[in-house]
Amino acid sequence: KEEERDTTEDDLLDDFFNDVEETNTTTTTATPEPTPETQSNNISKQLTKLGTPLSQINRLLPPNYEWKNLNPFYVLDIPHTAPLDIISRRYKALSLLIHPDKCSEKRAKEAFEQVRIAMTLLKEEEKRKHVHDLIEQGQKQGTRDYQVSRTTTTNPTLLSKEEEEKQLQSFQEKAIMKVFATIEQKRRDVERRKRAQEKRERDQEEEEKTKVKKEMEFHKRWREGDRVDLRVGSWRDFQGGDGGKKKKKSRWS
Q: Which residue has the higher pLDDT, 84 or 44?
A: 84
Q: Which residue has the higher pLDDT, 165 or 158?
A: 165
| pLDDT score of 217 | 85
Q: Which residue has the higher pLDDT, 146 or 246?
A: 146
Cα 179 from Cα 131, distance rounded (Å): 10
| pLDDT score of 232 | 58
| pLDDT score of 123 | 95
Q: What is the per-residue pLDDT across 49-74, written as a single tens digit (0 to 9) for each?
A: 899 999 999 999 999 999 999 999 99
Ranking 22-26, 40-44, 246-250 by mean pLDDT, the lowest is 22-26
Ranking 34-48, 74-88, 137-151 by mean pLDDT, the lowest is 34-48
Q: Decide if 40 contacts 86 (C-beta within 8 A).
A: no
Average pLDDT, the chain: 82
Ranking 48-57, 159-168, 233-242 by mean pLDDT, the lowest is 233-242
pLDDT (mean) for 160-183: 94
Cα 18 from Cα 77, distance rounded (Å): 23
Q: What is the DSSP letter of 241?
A: T
Q: Other C-beta atoms within 10 Å of 205: how many?
A: 10
Q: What is the dihedral of CA 176, 181, 184, 189, to 10 degrees?
A: -140
Instruction: Identify the band that residue 46 occupies on the pLDDT scale cut at 50, 70 and 90.
Output: confident
Cα 91 from Cα 101, distance rounded (Å): 15
| pLDDT score of 14 | 57
| The one-letter amino acid at 249 | K
Helix (H, G, I), strand (E, B) or coil at 161: helix
pLDDT greater than 70 at residue 37: no
Does the predicted TM-score (pTM) go above 0.85? no
Q: What is the DSSP letter of 63?
A: T
Cα 101 from Cα 113, distance rounded (Å): 13
Q: What is the per-residue pLDDT across 95-143, written as a single tens digit (0 to 9) for each?
A: 999 999 999 999 999 999 999 999 999 999 999 999 999 999 999 999 9
Cα 48 from Cα 52, distance rounded (Å): 8
